[in-house]
Amino acid sequence: MKDLLTWIGSLPPLLQVPVVIIAFLLAVAVLIFLIEVAPRSGRTYTIMRAAVCVIVPALALWLLGSVLWAAAIAAVLGAAFFLLDYRSRQGAGYLFALMAFLAPAVILLLIGLVYPTIQTVINSFLSSRGNFVGFDNFVWVFSQDQNLVVIRNTIVWTLVVPTISTAIGLAYAVFIDKARGEKIFKALVFMPMAISFVGASIIFRFIYAYRPEGESQYGLLNQIVVWLGLPPVNWLQQVPLNSFLLMVVLIWVQTGFAMVILSAALKGVPTVQIEAAQLDGANGWQRFWSVQVPSIRPSLIVVLTTISIASLKVFDIVRTMGTAYPDTGVIANEMVTLLQKFETGRSSAFAVILFLLVLPIVIYNARQIQKQREIR
């Protein structure tokens, strides 16, 4: 494999792209071929499967240069094909297709999620030198005033940002729905979703920018304040206002997401229900609160939980705007800061706390989805 990558790297840049694309297409073609022929019975397909059991280990031997890997792959393939042949006689020949589609996702989840989670939990009980210290890292997290501020800020982010983003997004979805220029207004509201958190943070840094009184202000907010005859304010130094000003960035970005999801949900509410409520004498607010909101409850839950998880994991905004300002830290930012200082145990403790905060939201969302499936 190393030799193959080295050979690709030695090619001209314009030639590397088609070579990589061709290799990818060949891998996809092989996968599709295996999915198609593996479940089928007959001598021809049996010969094909036998050839695969020889060719694939041979390729592994050539690419990896290891007899052990080739033998292991041959054993796994042989066992899998034997099982599939046995199952296909009982009408379960689709098993290979299921395994082929699920295997990449399962492997990536194990490598990218399960293993790092287990390793992080283990590291949270170790010192930066690798010695076992029990719950000392968690005791340190909850015994330092600054760490408590970090946890408090994270919880406040999770309460404020989803609520305001969803409320504004729902208001836009209701008032712009079927209005003249609906597509243009929705595109303008959704546009911040195309901007990265770092880019949005830089935009708002210019909005909140401060210069001492007497100097020309280039920050939009302070320029407005000066036009009103008031002295400029160093907004990001004002505690706790600075944290809420950082939250405005995420609210600005996530409002478009909330609007799109809720607008689609509102359009799916049967007009018969709204007309029936209108005939019963319900006014606009009553129709909205008693008919439309209950009908879009699953979408509201999805939007709230999704933005809540994004708020818990917020890092870019605070890293870009708030590191130089007091009491603006959040768990994700503190976790990375400690890791950069090689405090792996304390950083892992913060990561475990963040995981425990996210877990109830994920479980609640999964249960709501399951309930909706049962209703359908």
For the chain, what are the domain ranges? 2-94, 136-375
Measured in whole angstroms, the distance separating CA 175 from the mean position of its chain's CA atoms is: 29
Does residue 177 or residue 260 have the better pLDDT? 260
Which residues have C-beta within 8 Å of that of residue 222, sequence separation ≥ 6?
208, 209, 210, 211, 232, 233, 235
Q: Tell which residue, 88, 113, 56, has the closest CA to residue 358.
A: 113
- Mean pLDDT (the chain, rounded): 83
Q: How far is CA 146 from CA 153, 327, 334, 351, in A?
A: 11, 8, 10, 16
Tokens at 104, concatenated = 């990449």
22, pLDDT greater than 50: yes
Spatial neighbors of 291 by CB under 8 A, at least 6 apart, are 269, 273, 274, 277, 282
Q: Which pLDDT belongs to residue 109? A: 85
Q: Average of pLDDT values for 147-171?
A: 93
Q: What angle do CA 65, 71, 74 make, to 5 degrees?
A: 115
Q: Which residues of 179-207 are buried (b: 16+ CB within 10 A; e: fewer)?
A: eeeeeeebeebbebeeeebeebbeebeeb
Lowest mean pLDDT among 136-140, 194-198, 247-251, 279-283: 279-283
pLDDT of residue 97 exceeding 60, the answer is no
Q: Count other C-beta atoms under 10 Å from residue 346's C-beta.
A: 24
Over residues 48-56, mean pLDDT: 73
The mean-pLDDT minimum among 35-39, 54-58, 149-153, 222-226 falls in 35-39
Share of the chain above pLDDT 70, in %: 86
302-352 pLDDT, tens digit each: 899 999 999 998 998 988 886 667 888 899 999 999 988 889 999 999 999
Q: Which of 34-38, 204-208, 215-219, 238-242 has the lowest mean pLDDT?
A: 34-38
What is the percent of the chain where pLDDT is above 90? Answer: 26
List, in sequence order, every residue forming a beta bridge with 66; answer none if it has no partner. Answer: none
Residue that is written with structure tokens 């699953």 in the block = 298
Fold of domain 136-375: MetI-like fold (1.10.3720)
Q: What is the mean pLDDT of residues 190-204?
A: 89
Question: What is the pLDDT averaged over residues 208-217?
Answer: 84
194 vs 76: which has the higher pLDDT: 194
- Tally the C-alpha atoms within 13 A of residue 56's C-alpha that lie toward its C-beta: 18
**Would the pLDDT of 89 be above 60?**
no
| Of the ranges 47-61, 127-141, 317-331, the best mean pLDDT one | 127-141
Higher pLDDT, 60 or 350: 350
Determine the average pLDDT of the residues in 120-137.
90
Most confident of 9-23, 192-206, 356-370: 192-206
What pLDDT is attached to residue 10? 81
**Distances in whole angstroms, Cα of residue 198 to Cα of each of 158, 179, 231:** 19, 33, 29
pLDDT digits (tens, 9 = 90+) for 221-247: 999 999 998 899 888 888 888 899 999
pLDDT of residue 272: 87
Question: H/E/C letters for each residue in the chain?
Answer: CHHHHHHHHHCCHHHHHHHHHHHHHHHHHHHHHHHHHCCCCCHHHHHHHHHHHHHHHHHHHHHHCCHHHHHHHHHHHHHHHHHHHHHHCCCCCCHHHHHHHHHHHHHHHHHHHHHHHHHHHHHCCECCCCCECCCHHHHHHHHCHHHHHHHHHHHHHHHHHHHHHHHHHHHHHHHHCCCCCHHHHHHHHHHHHHCCHHHHHHHHHHHHCCCCCCCCCCCHHHHHHHHCCCCCCCHHHCCCHHHHHHHHHHHHHHHHHHHHHHHHHHHCCCHHHHHHHHHCCCCHHHHHHHHHHHHCHHHHHHHHHHHHHHHHCCCHHHHHHHCCCCCCCCHHHHHHHHHHCCCHHHHHHHHHHHHHHHHHHHHHHHHHHHHHHHHC
- Assign 68 a pLDDT band (cuts: 50, 70, 90): confident
More confident residue, 269 or 178: 269
CA distance 330 to 252: 19
More confident position, 172 or 59: 172
The answer for residues whose C-beta is within 8 angstroms of residue 6's C-beta and 6 or more apart is none
The neighbour count for residue 98, using CB atoms within 10 Å, is 12
Count CB-CB contacts under 10 A for residue 243.
24
pLDDT number for residue 93: 47
**347 vs 96 pLDDT, higher one:** 347
Q: Which residue has the higher pLDDT, 292 or 371?
A: 292
Q: Give the closest residue to 253 by CA, choosing from 176, 328, 201.
A: 201
